[in-house]
Amino acid sequence: MRHAGHPASQLREAHLLLDRIGTKWTSRAVKTLADAAPDGLVSRRVEPTVPPRVFYRLTELGLSLEAALAGPRTWAEEHMAEIDRANEAAAAQEAAEA
């Protein structure tokens, strides 16, 4: 998401980052995307397949947030190793408690 490119490719980059954080956060992000559609930040398209496929694309309004989100994005990139370690520790603790 660092470069001004195709909105779909920027979302793909966001999903790759979210995949590294974990499914819990990915689920929250997808909910956030769905919530952002009525605000005009993303457009949402549903393909009537089984299961349905949902596609999101940043709108011009959503793209205008890139500068505002640069700081949090940079922070997340810089701290990804720590986030990964915290997720691994939490998973290990949950497994030990089970």
60 within domain boundaries: yes
CATH of the domain at 22: 1.10.10
Name the nearest CA neighbour of 42 among 26, 62, 23, 25.
62
pLDDT digits 0-9 by tens, 55-95: 888 899 989 988 888 898 899 899 999 999 999 999 999 99
How many domains, the chain?
Answer: 1
Residues 67, 18 contacting (CB under 8 angstroms) = no
User: Greater confidence, 25 or 36?
Assistant: 36
Could you give the angle at the alpha carbon of 58 between the alpha carbons of 18 and 12, nearest 5°? 35
pLDDT digits 0-9 by tens, 44-57: 899 999 988 888 88
* Containing structural domain, residue 21: 7-97
Residues 33, 42 contacting (CB under 8 angstroms) = yes
Averaged pLDDT score across all residues of the chain: 81
- What pLDDT is attached to residue 11? 66
1 within domain boundaries: no
2 within domain boundaries: no
Query: For the whole prediction, is pTM greater than 0.75?
Result: no
41 within domain boundaries: yes
18 within domain boundaries: yes
28 within domain boundaries: yes
